[in-house]
Structure 1
Amino acid sequence: MRAPGRQPDRLRALIAAGVLAVMTIGAAGCAESDRDNGADKGAGGGTFILAGAGDPKNFDPIFNDDGESFRPIRQMYDTLITHKPGTAELVGGLAESWSNDPTGKIWTFKLRQGVTFHDGTAFDAAAVCANFDRWSAMKGEAAQSQMIYYADVFGGFAGSPDAVYDNCKAPDAGTAVVTMKKYKGAFPGAFALTAFSIASPAAMKQYGADTVTQSGDSFSYSAFANEHPTGTGAFTFGGWNKATGELTLNKNPNYWGDKAKVDKMIIKVIKDENTRKQELRAGTVQAIDFPAPADRKALAAEGYEVLERPAFNILYLGINQKNNPKLKDLRVRQAIAYALNRAQLVQTKGPGGAAVADQFLPSTVLGYAPDVQKYEYSVDKAKQLLADAGATGLTLNFYYPTEVSRPYMPNPQEIFTVLANDLQAAGIKVNGVPRPWNGGFKDDVQQFGKQDLHILGWTGDYNDPGNFVGTFFGRAKPEFGDQSMTEMFSAIAKADATVDQAAKKTAWEQVNRDMATKWLPAVPIWHAPPALVTTKNVQGLVPSPLTAETFNTVSITK
């Protein structure tokens, strides 16, 4: 890999271990075809049409955390650090190189020269600092909206005792120096997060980027977020027609990197899985994401290219302890875990290569503990624990998303049905509550905590346990409802702040053991390898283990 600047030995060992581990994950990916995905064999120009599984929320990176929004954002914006295509190896993005001081608190970025935003303004160190300062200074409704990544990575906003970010300085146009208040294991990997893409300060000011309003359970975002997203990426915003579900992205002829090979890309939102498949066969779209497990072999046999990504994700059953006091009892949460026949779910509904999860991160990530308590399927144990806790006849509201497929959750309706049947077999009555992904499920679950149970998951952004366990359980969240698990929050914070590699590994392993035996805020379900399917005339699409594809490499043969 290209060395990301000079690292002091202690931190170099820490960072290199994580990057090399996830490089292995990226290299392990395979496709159910023998095509050289990186080769550009097609002619330039034309239009590439990909079927999306759900509506994007908006196009301001910092206010998003889901793949359907990040897919177009990733084409329009760049991050300081990015990933080598097809892997999770860190390489330069808008920063040609980066380095840190011995404490891991001060990060210096040497920036690319001659880069411009889509509005023609210059990308420079001042623009970098304007973005960092903007994120940190969010207040009111903007801060309360979907800024999950910022809260998880940076601890809190300016003035918060948990805030990690201190300041950003621009000693010259080509150098940005970002100072943290403390070391955090997320860096440098977190600098590659799509949420932390660099936007044009001029466009954000012109179109009121920080204007966020709340009405009931919903948030409304600015003209910048919806109509004028302005980054430095390989594609520019061409319009979002909500009536037809078509998002248009145009080639950026002034892109600083490898320019897009197609003139235009269209993301066509098709929420029904069967309809996506039909349109692929009809040739009205040239790629679909997250095909149903049963469709992979059939589509490959028909001559379509099935590009499989490695499984670097987790699906879990979340347990909200706020609304039903019975769920505060560990025995009840353990009963839920024993009631789930996860092995059968993997067999019947999981994609090829899926595996039952016994903790909230893949086995390739530092801190995975092979000796965690495993909840083998047992209806009898579940019933006994419910009886011991005085929770016989328990009724729970189980929320699940509709109109969407996620890398870790190809068919939410089917997964919900199987899990709900398991719970009911153990004596737990389930009220199913289907809600649309954006503007429904995510707000109800993650902002307002209306549910007792829900299914959700995560695709890792970088190889660090904090990106999995810390993201889910590192602080109190409406999603899980119990703000009293201070022991869990403290243990995660301590593990994340540990610089020594061996000590960090030990600390995270213990966190994962305690997660299963002492806290159990959710039940891990499976790790599942997601796939992309394309028509034969699509060349150059490189699948990412992080589901973080960029499409400037794609060309269409005639």
Structure 2
Amino acid sequence: MKRTGLAALTAVAALVLAACGGGGGGGQAADAGPPRPGGTLVFAVSSDAGCADPQQVGSNDSIYSMRQVVDSLTDQDPASGDIRPWLATSWQSNPQATEWTFQLRPGVTFSDGTPLDANAVKTTFDRVPSLGARGTLPKGYLAGYQGTTVTGPTSFTVRFAQPNVQFLQGTSTHSLGIFAPASAAQTDDQRCAGVVGSGPFVLQTYTKNQATILAKRAGYSWGSSLFTHPGEAYLDRAEFRVVPESGVRTGSLQSGEVDAIASIGPQDEAPLAGAGIELPSRANPGTPFGIVFNQSTPLGQDAAVREAISAAINRQEVVSAVYTSQTRPATSALASTTPDYADRSAALAFDPARAGAVLDAAGWAPGPDGIRARAGQRLTLPLIYAPVIATNRPALELVQQQLRAVGIDLQLQERPVADTATIQQSGQFTAFWLNVSRADPDILRAQYGTAGPNTFRFPAGTPLDALLTAQAGTLDEAQRTQQVAQAQEQLVGQHLVIPVAELTTTLAVGPDAHDVAFDASSRIQLHGTWKSTP
């Protein structure tokens, strides 16, 4: 099957174990002997979303731990993009892609002992549409959801009001991981204290902004067909510590206090590599880091301002100065590793002279301090960002300098990651700096379509909106590729979004940790991870 397996609407595959592609890392595994069970992996991250519910987190730092707690119906091969069995052994769609029928593995249980059957899947999916602001991702994957019909203990059909081609890939994500019915029934805030899943690890304790501690699930035997070994995870425990300071994370790894860290800066690469620490990396699919406007605000509706901002940003300079050596400048509204990516780099060229000319023509004249103004209003752009990775602030400070050079006053407003969903839902913002990782081009509809949450207040009834809706229901892969390419052309050509840098996830993994694997969305999977010194 190509990409998400939509070329053939039926996928029946044996649960044969396969090596997990797309990266991994840690500790010179070839010299460490065979994997051994036991030990605790200590992983330092830079932030915490303030919630321990996989369906209500969107930042990688929180997804890293929550991915281990829930299993998904399917998995996605990081190398090929193919959809592979996990909890589901087979699936098929009707010709319109409005109904998806699945067969489950028998004998799976949640960590509270209840069975993971078709009713549990129905309960999980039925709850998603009522999630609040933090549940944007799963609600997007279930757009047009009409319900789930259970036809047997291990058989069910998911129904949609309109064709939903992207749903199959959505079933491979943490956002549609399956919950025990008792967890699914809880309120949003109750679920943020922790949920019960069927994954290879169980949430032991969660302390907001401090640590998430996982314990191995005894008796686990229903892993993804992409997992590298059957049965239980090797590790006894995994501890995710929140360490905001980049230097402290790096020092803790070098001293052996932690086994792995996220959010590696360019200044860390040479010292860590010189100390014998591996730096596995993988480019993230989805939307690149960039500026997204609230289209209902005056600046968001000002085409000249949007064009000038895009032309004034030197993306290569930002990437070279701030990010790790594997990082690439953004060249479209999708990252280059996303299926159906289309190169729009010509529309993203660095051209400060053009930026100035566009602003001049629109009546934005330079003031005494160099900042432009029009009709008494200074050209000030308040931009909200969250410190989800260490590179966000330095990248934006450099963008701030670049925009000031053409007379735009970029005002940086840092907000806790736990607050961003609420701010977006309120509409009380002008622009956000963010990215979203997903290995399917439908992320564009989830972010910028008007039928869902429409966080950025895009207008309905536009050609762009029609394209985003159409691609979600198009079964013909070539036609869908064309629609997605046209959507990227409009997003970038009209500067509705201003992509700046593709996110490349670079970890640092110490010599005692092995096989920290990336999944298709460049998050980590710890089922096959092990310690040489438990």
Q: Which residue matches 2:14?
A: none
The question of 1:548 aligning with 2:523 is answered yes
Q: Which residue matches 2:496?
A: 521
The question of 1:455 aligning with 2:433 is answered yes
Give the Cα separation in 2 of the matches to 1:182 and 1:364: 28
8 Å contact kept, 1:30–1:310: no
Give the Cα separation in 2 of the matches to 1:375 and 1:537: 43
3-state SS of the aligned residue for 1:471?
helix
Q: Which residue matches 1:424?
A: 404
The question of 1:379 aligning with 2:352 is answered yes
User: Cα–Cα, structure 1 residues 103 and 62, in superposed 2: closer, same or farther, change >3 Å?
Assistant: same
The CA deviation at 1:167 is 2.2
Q: Which residue matches 1:397?
A: 382
2:110 partner amino acid: F
3-state SS of the aligned residue for 1:260?
coil
Give the Cα separation in 2 of the matches to 1:86 and 1:238: 32
2:84 partner amino acid: V
Give the Cα separation in 1 of the matches to 2:386 and 2:3: 42
User: Cα–Cα, structure 1 residues 127 and 352, in superposed 2: closer, same or farther, change >3 Å?
Assistant: same
3-state SS of the aligned residue for 1:294?
helix
8 Å contact kept, 1:310–1:545: no
User: Cα–Cα, structure 1 residues 47 and 274, in superposed 2: closer, same or farther, change >3 Å?
Assistant: same
User: Cα–Cα, structure 1 residues 555 and 66, in superposed 2: closer, same or farther, change >3 Å?
Assistant: same
User: Cα–Cα, structure 1 residues 242 and 184, in superposed 2: closer, same or farther, change >3 Å?
Assistant: closer
User: Cα–Cα, structure 1 residues 272 and 203, in superposed 2: closer, same or farther, change >3 Å?
Assistant: same
Give the Cα separation in 2 of the matches to 1:485 and 1:253: 52
Q: Which residue matches 1:443?
A: 422
The CA deviation at 1:484 is 5.4
The question of 1:232 aligning with 2:198 is answered yes
The CA deviation at 1:470 is 1.8
- The TM-score normalised by the length of structure 1 is 0.83
3-state SS of the aligned residue for 2:202?
strand
How is 1:260-275 mapped onto 2 (pairs within 5 angstroms)?
A: 260-275=233-248
User: Cα–Cα, structure 1 residues 454 and 44, in superposed 2: closer, same or farther, change >3 Å?
Assistant: same
The question of 1:12 aligning with 2:7 is answered yes
The question of 1:348 aligning with 2:321 is answered yes
Give the Cα separation in 2 of the matches to 1:485 and 1:339: 30
The CA deviation at 1:436 is 2.1
3-state SS of the aligned residue for 1:12?
coil
Give the Cα separation in 1 of the matches to 2:30 and 2:162: 44
Select the residue among 321, 346, 362 that pairs with 2:335. 362
Select the residue among 302, 313, 318 that pairs with 2:292. 318
The CA deviation at 1:172 is 1.1
1:443 partner amino acid: T
2:103 partner amino acid: K
3-state SS of the aligned residue for 1:309?
strand
The CA deviation at 1:488 is 2.1
Q: Which residue matches 2:217?
A: 252
- The TM-score normalised by the length of structure 2 is 0.87
The CA deviation at 1:505 is 1.9
Unaligned runs of 5+ in 2: 12-17, 223-230, 366-371, 373-378
Q: Which residue matches 2:375?
A: none
Give the Cα separation in 2 of the matches to 1:391 and 1:432: 21
8 Å contact kept, 1:397–1:430: yes
Select the residue among 117, 125, 140 that pairs with 1:152. 140
The question of 1:493 aligning with 2:469 is answered yes
8 Å contact kept, 1:400–1:416: no
Select the residue among 294, 303, 306 that pairs with 2:267. 294
Give the Cα separation in 1 of the matches to 2:100 and 2:450: 25
8 Å contact kept, 1:79–1:193: yes
Output the aligned Cα RMSD. Answer: 2.9
User: Cα–Cα, structure 1 residues 326 and 252, in superposed 2: closer, same or farther, change >3 Å?
Assistant: closer
Q: Which residue matches 1:307?
A: 280
User: Cα–Cα, structure 1 residues 311 and 251, in superposed 2: closer, same or farther, change >3 Å?
Assistant: closer
Identity of aligned residues (%): 24
CA deviation map 1:277-324 (0-9, x unaligned): 11111211111112112312321121112112234351111222334x
CA deviation map 1:50-85 (0-9, x unaligned): 112211422223222222232222111111112347
3-state SS of the aligned residue for 1:91?
strand
3-state SS of the aligned residue for 1:114?
coil
1:459 partner amino acid: S
8 Å contact kept, 1:373–1:513: no
2:431 partner amino acid: L
8 Å contact kept, 1:125–1:170: yes
Give the Cα separation in 1 of the matches to 2:461 and 2:294: 12
CA deviation map 1:471-513 (0-9, x unaligned): 2212276653443573321221123322222222222222222
* Further displaced range: 495-504 or 103-112: 495-504
User: Cα–Cα, structure 1 residues 483 and 109, in superposed 2: closer, same or farther, change >3 Å?
Assistant: same
